Chain A
Amino acid sequence: MPTLHRLDTQEGLDHRIDHVRGVVPAPVRPAPRRLGAVLGAVAVATVLLLWLGLDLHLGLAVTGAFLLYLALTYVGFRVAAGARVATDRLMRGLLYGAFVVALLPLCSLLWTVVTLGGARVVNPDFLLQTMNGVTGLHDQATQQQGQLFIGGAYHAIVGTLLITGAATLISVPVGLLTAIYLVEYAGRSRLAHVIRFFVDVMTGIPSIVAGLFAFALWAVVFGIGTKDGMAGAVALSVLMIPTVVRNSEEMLRIVPNELREASLALGVPKWRTIVRVVLPTAASGLASGVTLAIARVIGETAPLLVAVGYARALNTNLLEGPMNTLAVYAYYMFTKPLSPAYRDPSIERAWAAALLLVLVVVALNLSARLIARFFAPTKR
């Protein structure tokens, strides 16, 4: 490649290290601009050829074209610009590929729930009706004769909000106070080690075990088989507390010690320093940590099935009788359709509940960000 070489000496700098005997520096050559575009075009053309021309499956065509693109990129850039640039391009290609692969399931999931559940969710009837009195006959009429679709998830939405809310009310004080103890008071004491160990153990508890724990606790306290919303809230808080402790501990730890000292040096007592300086400084992180912890348990199915049971009608009393929640609702509609012979309406309800759950989780994640921004210490 004589031309390229001339380019080198013209545009590249004459480094002193180039003149040291026994040193052969890796060449630094500019990467040709057009090559990337050409290779991209080749890749797209390959996809079209394999897909439309040879009638291969689209996924197979894309994978094949991607591999070809990687090979061509490496060879092309190696010839044109040397090994360093070629490796760089190859790695970039792999990274983008990995990114797409990671995103595919998410997009596919969103697409599926939106297409299958979207129609029900935008209908206010679904959001405002319960399953009270709805039977397989109604579903049969809907599917066979096109009668009005009845039966919604109102009771499940309310149940989800109530149970998760109660779980939050239990978990946040316990978790936050534990974290405050660990960070501000415990130091390196033995008790702190023990607490951390058990918090870690709790993090690994399978959710069904949490559900059975609540079920068993209620059986002992209120009699065997007692199911109510509060039992579900207890089961969820068993799952939430360790997350809240860990998140909050992390957030409290990154509050600079200088701020604590500044406050103490003003003659502010320790507890007031924690309440008025440490917590506000960490507020954004604490709030978003709690929100994410909620998002993690809001879709739990198994523990609620065990501890709360299943209700067809609206029940807003956490202390009495089974309630419904979105995840359990979806599970029931899918596995036990109202009318086994005419499943479509039930399946449709299941997808709609799934979509609602996804929407709630997305909303929680977004609000975590908003909360973080709202509480964040302002810079200017």
Chain B
Amino acid sequence: MSKRIDINDLNIYYGSFHAVKDVSMVIEPKSVTAFIGPSGCGKSTFLRTLNRMHEVVPGGRVEGDVLMDGRNLYSRDVDPVDVRREVGMVFQRPNPFPTMSIKENVLAGLRLNSKRMSSSTADELCERALRGANLWSEVKDRLDRPGSGLSGGQQQRLCIARAIAVQPEVILMDEPCSALDPISTLAVEDLIHELKSDYTVVIVTHNMQQAARVSDRTGFFNLEATGKPGHLVEMDDTQRIFNNPGKKATEDYISGRFG
């Protein structure tokens, strides 16, 4: 359950605003890919094109190809709903559904798509997803309580459980730890490590140590000036990016000599 993603000359727009330009890269299966870069350079925007969430924004559109195992996600006969079932997403702020219990939250992706489910299957899927998100032992006694009663870090892992319950190929995470305390961050980072044995994981982070800790490959995004589109400066093995980057801009950013 994991797929390789090829991105060719992707240009991303918000209406007439050109947000990201000419990105080409390869995202390897069963690995963790991290995107770093100054804020506003289009990391989130780019990430959201990988499961076609970008077009949810009014005026959002894309030029170029995103190929998942050779299939173009943006070709005409592909339904965005279908793409999103294959490419899950975890957001910056934990966003469990407030009207649902922990268990309902985990099963939301299945229930909301009204797949018929026997209650034993539901229990099993729920447990598997929660174990997969390292949350089972903490919530197994209160599956029927609301998800909003959990701590921030637990809520974020609940959102990860919700994402993996629909058994996607790829999981996208947009700064998943930026709203969390250090302990919860560690829990989520451990989880990311484990996830890569089953999934292709793509994570945006503003924390370079985090990128260095969790990722196999790292892409550095930058923008020349405000109002100009962001672009991919370089992408390489995380080791190389942090120890021996190919571009001056990357080195400046990583050593904190940015701007």
Question: Which residues of A line the B interface, CB within 8 A?
Answer: 187-188, 256, 258-269, 272-273, 276-277, 280-281, 283, 377-380
A267 with B85, Cβ < 8 A, contacts A258-B93, A281-B97 known: yes
Distance in angstroms from B247 CB to nearest chain A CB is: 32
Q: Complex: how many Å from CA A261 to CA B90?
A: 10
Confirm or deny: B178 has a beta carbon within 8 angstroms of a beta carbon on chain A.
Answer: no
A266 touches B88 (CB 8 A): yes
A268 touches B95 (CB 8 A): no
Q: Other CB < 8 Å A-B pairs besides A261-B89, A264-B53, A277-B97, 11 of them?
A: A259-B98, A261-B53, A261-B91, A262-B97, A262-B162, A265-B51, A267-B84, A267-B166, A268-B113, A281-B98, A380-B146
Which one of A264, A265, A273, A377 lies within 8 Å of B99 (CB-CB)? A377
Confirm or deny: B109 has a beta carbon within 8 angstroms of a beta carbon on chain A.
Answer: yes
Residues of A within 8 Å of B108, CB to CB, are 263, 266, 268
Distance in angstroms from B202 CB to nearest chain A CB is: 13
B113 touches A280 (CB 8 A): no
User: In this complex, what residue of A is CB-closest to B168?
Assistant: A267
Q: Complex: how many Å from CA A258 to CA B149?
A: 18
A377 with B95, Cβ < 8 A, contacts A266-B162, A267-B82, A267-B109 known: no
Question: Which residues of B line the A interface, CB within 8 A?
Answer: 51, 53, 56, 58, 81-86, 88-89, 91, 93, 95-99, 108-109, 111-114, 145-146, 148-149, 159, 162-163, 166
Can you identify 26 A-B contacts, CB atoms within 8 angstroms?
A258-B93, A259-B97, A261-B53, A261-B91, A262-B162, A263-B97, A263-B108, A264-B56, A265-B89, A265-B91, A266-B84, A266-B163, A266-B166, A267-B81, A267-B83, A267-B113, A267-B166, A272-B112, A272-B113, A273-B112, A276-B112, A277-B112, A281-B98, A283-B99, A377-B98, A380-B149
Residues of B within 8 Å of A269, CB to CB, are 81
Distance in angstroms from B1 CB to nearest chain A CB is: 15
Q: Complex: how many Å from CA A187 to CA B55?
A: 13
Distance in angstroms from B151 CB to nearest chain A CB is: 12
Which one of A188, A263, A277, A377 lies within 8 Å of B148 (CB-CB)? A377
Q: Complex: how many Å from CA A281 to CA B99?
A: 6
Q: Complex: how many Å from CA A267 to CA B53?
A: 10
B112 touches A256 (CB 8 A): no
B112 touches A263 (CB 8 A): yes
Residues of B within 8 Å of A378, CB to CB, are 146, 148
Residues of A within 8 Å of B113, CB to CB, are 266-268, 272
Highest count of chain A CB atoms <10 Å: which of B56, B86, B112: B112
B98 touches A188 (CB 8 A): no
A377 touches B146 (CB 8 A): yes
Tell me whether chain B's interface is mostly helix, strand or loop, or mixed.
mixed
Which one of B58, B81, B84, B166 lies within 8 Å of A188 (CB-CB)? B58
Distance in angstroms from A278 CB to nearest chain B CB is: 10
Residues of A within 8 Å of B109, CB to CB, are 266-268
Distance in angstroms from B160 CB to nearest chain A CB is: 12
Q: Complex: how many Å from CA A273 to CA B108?
A: 11
Residues of A within 8 Å of B51, CB to CB, are 265
Q: Complex: how many Å from CA A325 to CA B56?
A: 49
A265 with B98, Cβ < 8 A, contacts A258-B91, A377-B146, A379-B149 known: no
Q: Complex: how many Å from CA A188 to CA B58?
A: 9
Which one of A188, A261, A265 lies within 8 Å of B88 (CB-CB)? A265
User: In this complex, what residue of A is CB-closest to B149?
Assistant: A380
A262 touches B95 (CB 8 A): yes
Distance in angstroms from B219 CB to nearest chain A CB is: 21
User: In this complex, what residue of A is CB-closest to B162?
Assistant: A266
User: In this complex, what residue of A is CB-closest to B51?
Assistant: A265
Shortest Cβ-Cβ A-B pairs, 6 listed: A267-B85, A377-B98, A266-B109, A265-B89, A267-B84, A258-B95
A261 with B58, Cβ < 8 A, contacts A266-B88, A266-B108 known: no
A256 with B149, Cβ < 8 A, contacts A265-B53, A268-B112 known: no
Q: Complex: how many Å from CA A263 to CA B80?
A: 13
B163 touches A256 (CB 8 A): no
Q: Complex: how many Å from CA A277 to CA B166?
A: 17
A265 touches B84 (CB 8 A): yes
Distance in angstroms from B180 CB to nearest chain A CB is: 16
A268 touches B146 (CB 8 A): no
Q: Complex: how many Å from CA A272 to CA B109?
A: 11
